[in-house]
Amino acid sequence: MEASDIETYKVYVVSDSVGETADMLAKAAFEQFKGKKFEVKKYPYITNEEEIIDLVENASHGNSIIVFTTVLENLREKITVECEIKGIPYIDVMKEPIKAFEKFLSTKPENEPGIIHRLDAKYFKRVEAIEFAVKYDDGKDPRGVLKADIVLLGISRTSKTPLSMYLANKNVKVANIPLVPEVPIPDEVFEVSNKKIIGLTTDPMKLNEIRQERLKALGLSDTAIYANVDRILEEIDYAEKVMKKISCPVINVSNKAIEETANLILEIIKERNKE
Protein backbone atom coordinates (compact mmCIF):
# COMPACT_ATOMS: atom_id res chain seq x y z
CA MET A 1 0.00 0.00 0.00
CA GLU A 2 1.34 3.42 -0.97
CA ALA A 3 1.75 6.11 1.68
CA SER A 4 -0.99 8.16 0.02
CA ASP A 5 -3.45 5.28 0.47
CA ILE A 6 -2.90 5.02 4.24
CA GLU A 7 -5.95 6.18 6.18
CA THR A 8 -5.40 9.42 8.08
CA TYR A 9 -6.51 9.74 11.67
CA LYS A 10 -7.15 13.25 12.90
CA VAL A 11 -6.14 14.35 16.39
CA TYR A 12 -7.84 17.54 17.59
CA VAL A 13 -5.78 19.26 20.30
CA VAL A 14 -7.99 21.68 22.21
CA SER A 15 -7.09 24.04 25.04
CA ASP A 16 -8.16 27.27 26.74
CA SER A 17 -4.43 28.10 26.89
CA VAL A 18 -1.50 27.21 24.61
CA GLY A 19 -2.28 23.50 24.40
CA GLU A 20 1.29 22.21 24.69
CA THR A 21 0.40 19.55 27.26
CA ALA A 22 -2.35 18.01 25.15
CA ASP A 23 -0.16 18.22 22.05
CA MET A 24 2.77 16.45 23.71
CA LEU A 25 0.55 13.76 25.20
CA ALA A 26 -1.17 13.07 21.88
CA LYS A 27 2.13 12.82 20.01
CA ALA A 28 3.65 10.57 22.66
CA ALA A 29 0.63 8.28 22.38
CA PHE A 30 0.28 8.00 18.61
CA GLU A 31 4.03 7.48 18.14
CA GLN A 32 3.40 4.07 19.67
CA PHE A 33 1.29 3.10 16.66
CA LYS A 34 3.69 2.64 13.79
CA GLY A 35 2.28 2.48 10.31
CA LYS A 36 -0.62 4.77 11.15
CA LYS A 37 -0.91 8.25 9.70
CA PHE A 38 -1.93 11.09 12.00
CA GLU A 39 -2.85 14.69 11.34
CA VAL A 40 -2.83 17.08 14.31
CA LYS A 41 -5.25 20.00 14.33
CA LYS A 42 -4.60 22.55 17.08
CA TYR A 43 -7.23 24.75 18.69
CA PRO A 44 -5.51 26.87 21.37
CA TYR A 45 -7.10 29.64 23.43
CA ILE A 46 -10.66 28.34 23.13
CA THR A 47 -12.82 30.73 25.14
CA ASN A 48 -16.47 30.01 24.36
CA GLU A 49 -18.89 27.17 23.72
CA GLU A 50 -19.66 28.24 20.13
CA GLU A 51 -16.05 27.51 19.16
CA ILE A 52 -16.37 24.07 20.71
CA ILE A 53 -19.54 23.29 18.76
CA ASP A 54 -17.78 24.22 15.50
CA LEU A 55 -14.63 22.20 16.12
CA VAL A 56 -16.55 19.12 17.28
CA GLU A 57 -18.72 19.37 14.16
CA ASN A 58 -15.54 19.43 12.03
CA ALA A 59 -14.14 16.46 13.94
CA SER A 60 -17.31 14.45 13.26
CA HIS A 61 -16.51 14.28 9.54
CA GLY A 62 -13.64 11.82 9.75
CA ASN A 63 -11.68 9.44 11.95
CA SER A 64 -11.04 11.88 14.77
CA ILE A 65 -10.21 11.97 18.44
CA ILE A 66 -10.26 15.07 20.61
CA VAL A 67 -7.57 15.60 23.26
CA PHE A 68 -8.20 18.59 25.49
CA THR A 69 -6.70 20.41 28.46
CA THR A 70 -9.35 23.00 29.21
CA VAL A 71 -9.55 23.83 32.92
CA LEU A 72 -12.68 25.99 32.76
CA GLU A 73 -15.46 23.70 33.93
CA ASN A 74 -18.09 24.89 31.44
CA LEU A 75 -15.77 24.31 28.48
CA ARG A 76 -14.77 20.85 29.67
CA GLU A 77 -18.41 19.85 30.10
CA LYS A 78 -19.34 21.27 26.69
CA ILE A 79 -16.59 19.32 24.91
CA THR A 80 -17.62 16.14 26.72
CA VAL A 81 -21.33 16.55 25.88
CA GLU A 82 -20.71 17.46 22.24
CA CYS A 83 -18.30 14.56 21.74
CA GLU A 84 -20.78 12.09 23.22
CA ILE A 85 -23.59 13.43 21.04
CA LYS A 86 -21.42 13.07 17.92
CA GLY A 87 -19.91 9.78 19.01
CA ILE A 88 -16.37 11.13 18.93
CA PRO A 89 -13.76 9.61 21.27
CA TYR A 90 -12.13 12.13 23.60
CA ILE A 91 -9.46 12.42 26.29
CA ASP A 92 -9.87 14.93 29.12
CA VAL A 93 -6.21 15.25 30.06
CA MET A 94 -6.75 17.45 33.12
CA LYS A 95 -9.79 15.75 34.67
CA GLU A 96 -8.18 12.90 36.61
CA PRO A 97 -5.02 14.78 37.74
CA ILE A 98 -7.14 17.69 39.01
CA LYS A 99 -9.54 15.33 40.81
CA ALA A 100 -6.62 13.49 42.39
CA PHE A 101 -4.92 16.69 43.60
CA GLU A 102 -8.23 18.11 44.82
CA LYS A 103 -8.71 15.02 46.99
CA PHE A 104 -5.06 14.96 48.08
CA LEU A 105 -4.96 18.66 49.02
CA SER A 106 -8.53 18.88 50.32
CA THR A 107 -9.06 22.12 48.44
CA LYS A 108 -10.69 23.32 45.24
CA PRO A 109 -8.57 24.08 42.13
CA GLU A 110 -8.27 27.59 40.71
CA ASN A 111 -9.59 26.45 37.30
CA GLU A 112 -7.67 29.30 35.72
CA PRO A 113 -6.22 28.83 32.21
CA GLY A 114 -2.61 29.58 31.34
CA ILE A 115 -1.23 29.82 34.88
CA ILE A 116 1.93 27.85 34.09
CA HIS A 117 2.74 30.07 31.12
CA ARG A 118 2.28 33.23 33.14
CA LEU A 119 4.72 31.78 35.64
CA ASP A 120 7.10 31.01 32.80
CA ALA A 121 6.76 34.57 31.52
CA LYS A 122 7.63 35.94 34.96
CA TYR A 123 10.63 33.63 35.15
CA PHE A 124 11.98 34.70 31.78
CA LYS A 125 11.38 38.35 32.59
CA ARG A 126 13.42 37.92 35.77
CA VAL A 127 16.23 36.20 33.86
CA GLU A 128 16.20 39.03 31.33
CA ALA A 129 16.43 41.61 34.14
CA ILE A 130 19.37 39.76 35.74
CA GLU A 131 21.21 39.57 32.43
CA PHE A 132 20.52 43.29 31.96
CA ALA A 133 21.97 44.12 35.39
CA VAL A 134 25.13 42.16 34.61
CA LYS A 135 25.53 43.70 31.17
CA TYR A 136 25.08 47.27 32.35
CA ASP A 137 26.80 47.00 35.71
CA ASP A 138 29.29 49.64 36.82
CA GLY A 139 28.91 51.75 33.68
CA LYS A 140 30.30 49.06 31.37
CA ASP A 141 27.93 50.21 28.64
CA PRO A 142 26.20 53.55 29.31
CA ARG A 143 23.64 52.80 26.60
CA GLY A 144 21.92 50.71 29.21
CA VAL A 145 20.85 53.91 30.97
CA LEU A 146 18.43 54.57 28.11
CA LYS A 147 16.89 51.10 28.38
CA ALA A 148 16.77 50.75 32.17
CA ASP A 149 13.75 50.99 34.44
CA ILE A 150 15.96 52.42 37.18
CA VAL A 151 19.40 54.05 37.05
CA LEU A 152 21.58 54.07 40.16
CA LEU A 153 24.34 56.65 40.60
CA GLY A 154 26.97 56.52 43.32
CA ILE A 155 30.63 56.38 44.19
CA SER A 156 32.42 53.07 44.68
CA ARG A 157 31.13 50.76 47.45
CA THR A 158 27.69 52.31 47.82
CA SER A 159 25.97 48.97 47.03
CA LYS A 160 25.15 49.75 43.40
CA THR A 161 25.76 46.22 42.14
CA PRO A 162 24.02 44.31 44.97
CA LEU A 163 21.03 46.62 44.63
CA SER A 164 20.95 46.12 40.86
CA MET A 165 20.88 42.34 41.29
CA TYR A 166 18.30 42.43 44.07
CA LEU A 167 15.98 44.61 42.00
CA ALA A 168 16.58 42.40 38.95
CA ASN A 169 15.14 39.51 40.94
CA LYS A 170 12.01 41.61 41.20
CA ASN A 171 11.92 41.88 37.39
CA VAL A 172 13.31 45.43 37.35
CA LYS A 173 15.96 46.36 34.79
CA VAL A 174 18.68 48.39 36.51
CA ALA A 175 21.77 50.10 35.14
CA ASN A 176 24.29 51.61 37.52
CA ILE A 177 26.88 54.29 36.88
CA PRO A 178 29.90 54.93 39.14
CA LEU A 179 30.65 58.55 39.93
CA VAL A 180 34.37 59.34 39.84
CA PRO A 181 35.61 62.95 39.82
CA GLU A 182 38.18 62.27 37.09
CA VAL A 183 35.76 60.36 34.81
CA PRO A 184 33.18 62.21 32.67
CA ILE A 185 29.56 61.29 33.32
CA PRO A 186 28.00 59.53 30.31
CA ASP A 187 25.72 61.77 28.23
CA GLU A 188 22.96 59.19 28.57
CA VAL A 189 22.51 60.11 32.25
CA PHE A 190 21.32 63.56 31.20
CA GLU A 191 19.18 62.24 28.37
CA VAL A 192 16.76 60.23 30.51
CA SER A 193 14.09 61.42 32.89
CA ASN A 194 15.37 62.05 36.39
CA LYS A 195 12.25 60.22 37.60
CA LYS A 196 14.05 56.93 37.14
CA ILE A 197 17.41 58.03 38.59
CA ILE A 198 18.36 57.35 42.20
CA GLY A 199 21.51 58.64 43.84
CA LEU A 200 23.32 56.64 46.51
CA THR A 201 25.55 58.09 49.18
CA THR A 202 26.99 56.92 52.48
CA ASP A 203 28.76 57.97 55.65
CA PRO A 204 32.45 58.76 54.88
CA MET A 205 33.84 56.94 57.93
CA LYS A 206 31.69 53.89 57.26
CA LEU A 207 32.87 53.93 53.65
CA ASN A 208 36.46 54.24 54.80
CA GLU A 209 36.09 51.01 56.79
CA ILE A 210 34.44 49.20 53.89
CA ARG A 211 37.12 50.27 51.43
CA GLN A 212 39.91 49.29 53.79
CA GLU A 213 38.41 45.81 54.10
CA ARG A 214 38.05 45.63 50.33
CA LEU A 215 41.73 46.46 49.85
CA LYS A 216 42.76 43.82 52.40
CA ALA A 217 40.62 41.24 50.60
CA LEU A 218 42.48 42.06 47.41
CA GLY A 219 45.85 41.76 49.18
CA LEU A 220 46.55 45.49 48.85
CA SER A 221 47.64 48.04 51.41
CA ASP A 222 44.78 49.67 53.27
CA THR A 223 46.65 52.98 53.06
CA ALA A 224 45.97 53.30 49.32
CA ILE A 225 44.28 56.50 48.20
CA TYR A 226 41.11 54.48 47.47
CA ALA A 227 40.53 54.30 51.25
CA ASN A 228 41.91 57.73 52.10
CA VAL A 229 39.36 59.78 54.07
CA ASP A 230 40.15 63.03 52.22
CA ARG A 231 39.69 61.25 48.90
CA ILE A 232 36.40 59.78 50.08
CA LEU A 233 35.14 63.20 51.15
CA GLU A 234 36.12 64.57 47.76
CA GLU A 235 34.20 61.80 45.99
CA ILE A 236 31.10 62.23 48.15
CA ASP A 237 31.12 65.98 47.60
CA TYR A 238 31.46 65.47 43.85
CA ALA A 239 28.66 62.90 43.78
CA GLU A 240 26.30 65.11 45.77
CA LYS A 241 26.87 67.98 43.32
CA VAL A 242 26.10 65.70 40.39
CA MET A 243 22.91 64.42 42.04
CA LYS A 244 21.83 67.94 42.87
CA LYS A 245 22.37 68.96 39.25
CA ILE A 246 20.27 66.04 38.05
CA SER A 247 17.71 66.71 40.81
CA CYS A 248 17.29 63.07 41.73
CA PRO A 249 16.45 61.56 45.13
CA VAL A 250 19.45 60.54 47.23
CA ILE A 251 19.49 57.59 49.63
CA ASN A 252 22.09 57.20 52.35
CA VAL A 253 22.86 53.47 52.40
CA SER A 254 25.17 53.57 55.46
CA ASN A 255 22.99 51.64 57.88
CA LYS A 256 20.49 50.05 55.54
CA ALA A 257 20.19 46.44 54.42
CA ILE A 258 20.04 45.83 50.67
CA GLU A 259 16.39 44.79 50.95
CA GLU A 260 15.49 47.97 52.82
CA THR A 261 17.21 50.24 50.30
CA ALA A 262 15.70 48.35 47.35
CA ASN A 263 12.18 48.69 48.73
CA LEU A 264 12.78 52.38 49.35
CA ILE A 265 13.96 52.80 45.76
CA LEU A 266 10.83 51.09 44.43
CA GLU A 267 8.61 53.32 46.57
CA ILE A 268 10.38 56.48 45.40
CA ILE A 269 10.14 55.48 41.73
CA LYS A 270 6.47 54.62 42.14
CA GLU A 271 5.68 57.97 43.76
CA ARG A 272 7.72 59.96 41.23
CA ASN A 273 5.93 58.27 38.32
CA LYS A 274 2.62 59.43 39.78
CA GLU A 275 3.69 63.03 39.56
Provide the annotated binding site: 154-161
Annotated binding site for ADP: 154-161
**Phi, psi for residue 26 in degrees, rounded to 5:** -60, -45
Q: What's the CA gap between 87 and 162, in Å, rounded?
A: 62
- Per DSSP, the three-state class of 94 is coil
Q: Please answer whether residues 178 and 156 qualify as being in contact, where contact means their C-beta atoms are separated by less than 8 angstroms.
A: yes
List Cβ neighbours of 219 (8 Å cut-off, separation of 6 or more): none
List Cβ neighbours of 273 (8 Å cut-off, separation of 6 or more): 195
Q: State the Cα angle at 72 between 71 and 77, rounded to 5°.
A: 100
Neighbours of 245 (CB within 10 A): 11
Question: How many angstroms separate the Cα of 31 from the Cα of each of 9, 43, 57, 65?
Answer: 13, 21, 26, 15
Q: What's the CA gap between 249 and 125, in Å, rounded?
A: 27
Q: What's the CA gap between 3 and 34, in Å, rounded?
A: 13
**Phi, psi for residue 77 in degrees, rounded to 5:** -65, -40
- Per DSSP, the three-state class of 50 is helix
Q: What's the CA gap between 103 and 99, in Å, rounded?
A: 6
Q: In what order do the strands lie in the sheet with 197-201?
A: 174-178, 150-154, 197-201, 250-252
